[in-house]
Amino acid sequence: QKEVEQNSGPLSVPEGAIASLNCTYSDRGSQSFFWYRQYSGKSPELIMSIYSNGDKEDGRFTAQLNKASQYVSLLIRDSQPSDSATYLCAVAPNAGGTSYGKLTFGQGTILTVHP
Amino acid sequence: ETGVTQSPTHLIKTRGQQVTLRCSSQSGHNTVSWYQQALGQGPQFIFQYYREEENGRGNFPPRFSGLQFPNYSSELNVNALELDDSALYLCASSLVAGSSYEQYFGPGTRLTVT
DSSP track, chain B: --S-EEE-SEEEE-TT--EEEEEEPPTT--EEEEEEE-TTS--EEEEEEETTEEEEE-S--TTEEEEE-TTS-EEEEE-S--GGG-EEEEEEEESSSSTTS--EE---EEEEE-
Q: Which of A24-33, A95-104, B37-46, B49-58 has the highest mean pLDDT?
A: B37-46
When pLDDT is averaged across residues A85-112 and rounded to a whole number, the result is: 84
Residues facing A63 on adjacent strands: A56, A74
**Partner-chain contact A43 B97, CB within 8 Å:** no
Using the Cβ of A34 and the Cβ atoms of chain B, whether some distance falls under 8 Å is answered with: yes
When pLDDT is averaged across residues A66-79 and rounded to a whole number, the result is: 97
Q: What is the pLDDT of residue A100?
A: 60
Mean pLDDT of chain A: 92
Q: What is the pLDDT of residue A96?
A: 54
**What's the pLDDT band for A48 if we cut at 50, 70, 90?**
very high
Nearest CA in chain A to B2: A45
pLDDT > 70 fraction of chain A, expressed in percent and rounded: 93
Q: Compare CB distances from B102 to A34, A98, A99 and report the shortest one's residue.
A: A34
**Greater pLDDT, A2 or B55:** B55
**What's the pLDDT band for A95 if we cut at 50, 70, 90?**
low
